[in-house]
Structure 1
């Protein structure tokens, strides 16, 4: 684990509370160095495990937009453990820093492509991404439509914030318009918002 990373491998099911989860395998000093709040690897893992448990798993090879990616740690985590290609979009982070994080963790621009972008004014065509993730940053955007136009029909929007449980929405699911990927009013610390497709 010389670079702070565990051995490569795609995601497998995790037993809740199990001490050998993917996020626990990372060097704590590396995580502390690269984060700006709660452990984003744990939030990402819990969010995506929850999504998979509700039929919204990320398929290897999918193209994922990681909104509010900061220095790229969650983006590298997604690429390495879920086998997806990630566009790491952040308004305040430096794409060079995110690229350096990916390189430090054994990944390249084919795995994680960092871009400087505003989540409320993304420079992408409509319906490009198979999934949009947002780990502990969605509350900064101030609007419900961040990232939704770039999501393919039946794609997964998975987000978490440190004050809430992981939430997953599937735009286009029965009863929920594609332009509104926000969770229902029942979302909160004790009830994750889930919309199975």
Structure 2
């Protein structure tokens, strides 16, 4: 499995009850799982633990079979573990292509290889790599698709997407959702969403308010 949570318990400091209680969940390569449920029930917390941002009180997270903690985040985030957030943070005065290429160059990639991969990922999400507009001029949907391409460019084992269409209208959300699932088909995709249409694109839906589903990962 690409990412597995085993008997995870998590509580925020100063909060007497656990947000996550005995959660086990596995997402394999090429599989997509949508975590759905009401606000405040732990969807983002679950993604934060799986994406090595939050450390569970009990239990462990395995990435490709290796136990990982937030201590491993500097080596894994942006490389083996990618994130797509509802508010994508682009380089505002750089082009679409630059926004995907620059992070790869920062990782030590050669410029030619970085540009080729960036172009491929942008095409996959329906964007033109030759578009020379600055990122600050893009629509919300275009910016979000750049964020998806950027997250996928390094070839992550796991892609975490937290409410990636929350700030978009229904039509744009559908475009971004299709692009996300299409581009991430070789990756273990774990996303949280309130959007039933987006969740329906996933291989499995986990309802955060139903412990039996979380417990067996079905």
Q: Which category describes the TM-score, using the shorter chain as reference length?
A: 0.3 to 0.5
Query: Whose strand proportion is higher, 1 or 2?
Result: 2
Query: Whose helix proportion is higher, 1 or 2?
Result: 2
Higher RCO, Cα 8 Å, sep 6+? 2
